């Protein structure tokens, strides 16, 4: 059985046999390679976005407080974080309680 495939180039319209690139213009025409290339581009874009978000997090005010060189500032940041967690826990409980009462 002969695995012959004719692929038409989207750029110039030339038909090619069993080639990854167009014989006329050099455009990539293999659909599997095109798909792999687009997946790699998408992964790189996501990786760059995650790296950018990490840099933004490291430049935040609270991150700087937690990693400050002065110990008193680090203690203040820990206390502030603890108070924030307690307030969020109380708020979550009140939201849950309101949902249970109304249901």
Q: What is the maximal distance between C-alpha atoms in the chain? A: 78
The number of C-alpha atoms within 13 Å of 14 and in the hemisphere containing its C-beta is 15
pLDDT for the residue numbered 1 = 47
To which H or E segment does residue 48 belong? helix 31-58
Residue 99 has pLDDT above 90, yes or no: yes
pTM recorded for the entire structure? 0.48
Give the pLDDT confidence of 1-51 residue by residue, as tens digits. 466 778 888 888 888 888 888 888 888 888 889 899 999 999 999 998 888
3 state SS of 66? helix
């Amino acid at each position: 059985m002969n695995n012959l495939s004719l692929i038409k180039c989207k750029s110039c319209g030339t038909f090619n046999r069993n080639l990854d690139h167009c014989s006329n213009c050099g455009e990539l025409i293999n659909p599997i390679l095109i798909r792999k290339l687009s997946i790699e581009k998408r992964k790189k874009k996501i990786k760059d976005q995650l790296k950018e978000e990490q840099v933004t997090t490291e430049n935040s005010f609270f991150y700087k407080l937690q990693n400050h060189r002065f110990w008193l500032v680090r203690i203040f940041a820990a206390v502030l974080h603890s108070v924030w967690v307690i307030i969020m826990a109380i708020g979550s409980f009140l939201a849950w309680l309101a949902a249970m009462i109304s249901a």
